[in-house]
Amino acid sequence: MKVIGLTGGIASGKSTVSQFLEELGAVIIDADKVGHEAFESEALAKLNNIVHPRIYDLVKSRLEDYRRRGVKVVVLEMPLLVEVPLSMKAGQPTLSDELDEVWVTVAPEAVVLQRLGKKAGLSEPEARARIRSQLPSEERLKHADVVIDTDCGLDELKARVAKLWQALA
């Protein structure tokens, strides 16, 4: 089974790429949704120390189940794919250990700002603050096996994803 980690900054197109991959036959694990299953809100630092190991356990269990079922491709959509291993204690297992490839979605800041305005209703200063609170795209790109530029129309993006999907076969 091929396991692909899909990551990217806020409003970079991860969910859209994930949706296209699902349509092509990939099984999607959305780490944010798994995270919501694993916790009820607390202070962020305390929460991460509690939740990240639990998310790891839940996702690893799902991966093992998909392997047993003969699933060919699983995409782990995880916005903090690069950040979490950097914040974990040395020696702790991370989901990065489970991946065969890392795919990173990218879009120019102007596009991300526009998407955040439409999608989340954020003002430009609020959107810029969100962007600045995340790991820079350049850092994510250091970990990428595949980079997907999402600054295009949906049909073109779908075609790009389909081409990547065909390369997996």
Q: Does residue 82 or residue 102 have the better pLDDT?
A: 102
- Token pair 């949706």 is at which residue? 19
Query: Residue 40's pLDDT is what?
Result: 47
Please report which residue ranges of 41-153 form alpha helices under DSSP H. 44-69, 83-87, 109-120, 124-132, 137-141
Amino acid in position 127: A
pLDDT > 70 fraction of the chain, expressed in percent and rounded: 89
User: pLDDT (tens digit, 9 = 90+) per residue, 129-165?
Assistant: 888 888 888 989 999 999 999 999 999 999 999 999 9
pTM over 0.85: no
The two tokens of residue 125 are: 């200063």
Q: Does residue 160 or residue 38 have the better pLDDT?
A: 160
Structural domains in the chain?
2-90+100-168 (3.40.50.300)
For 2, 31, 79, 107, 137, the CA distances from 11, given in Å and listed in that order, are 25, 16, 10, 8, 12
**Over the chain, what is the mean pLDDT?**
86
Q: Mean of the pLDDT values across residues 75-98?
A: 75
